[in-house]
Amino acid sequence: MSRPIPGRPEPGEYPAYSQMYIDTVQGADILNAFSEQLETTVNLLAKVDDQAAGTFSYAPGKWTIKQILGHIIDAERIFAYRALRISRNDSTPLAGFEQDDYVPFAGSNERSMASLLHEFKVVRLSTIALFGNIPQDAWLRKGTANDHAVTVRGIAFQVAGHEAHHARILREKYTAKVG
């Protein structure tokens, strides 16, 4: 049984640089946003040519579709881990991660789109289960991640906003060219 979510995060519940992500999330129902994203992202990428998804980038130095999806998966896991620890009242400052160091070692281009989409679905369902069962008093619990003050609620909206940011890039710069 999911528990109520206390609305949208306020500035100070997430790093200032995440404002652009938070702004992409519509409404206050983060669990609904997660579910809608799961469906739309899978539908967006399910028909993409597997070979092109691992070779095409819209500009030199930009990631492929497979690398973007792998990055979304990695980041979601890290954000969920942070939310878990903070929701359980762990006050240990949590380290940041360098996305550009992760992507080359993820091996996403060597995987099939089907396997990446399956992993995205599993990770997203796990994220929904985690946030759907956060105790009411834990949503506003504060911690430190990547040297920034965050709340569990702020992290939840960062997850959805981060995915929305990359989904927009995929729609605008990739899928029309390789779909």
pLDDT in tens, 67-93: 999 999 999 999 999 999 999 999 999
Span 140-169, average pLDDT: 98
Question: Could you tell me if residue 77 is inside a domain?
Answer: yes
The pair of structure tokens assigned to 15 is 């790093």
Span 56-73, average pLDDT: 97
| DSSP H or E segment with residue 150 | strand 148-151
Is residue 1 very low, low, confident or very high in pLDDT (cuts 50, 70, 90)?
Answer: very low
- For 86, residues 6+ apart whose C-beta sits below 8 A from its C-beta are 94, 138, 141, 142, 143, 145, 150, 151, 152, 155
Question: Could you tell me if residue 73 is inside a domain?
Answer: yes
> Tens digits of per-residue pLDDT, 156-175?
999 999 999 999 999 999 98
> Tens digits of per-residue pLDDT, 122-136?
999 999 999 999 999
Residue 131 is part of a domain; what is its CATH number? 1.20.120.450
Question: Could you tell me if residue 7 is inside a domain?
Answer: no
Is residue 2 very low, low, confident or very high in pLDDT (cuts 50, 70, 90)?
Answer: low
Structural domain range at position 148: 21-178
Question: Could you tell me if residue 141 is inside a domain?
Answer: yes
Question: Could you tell me if residue 95 is inside a domain?
Answer: yes
- In the chain, the number of structural domains is 1
Question: Could you tell me if residue 10 is inside a domain?
Answer: no
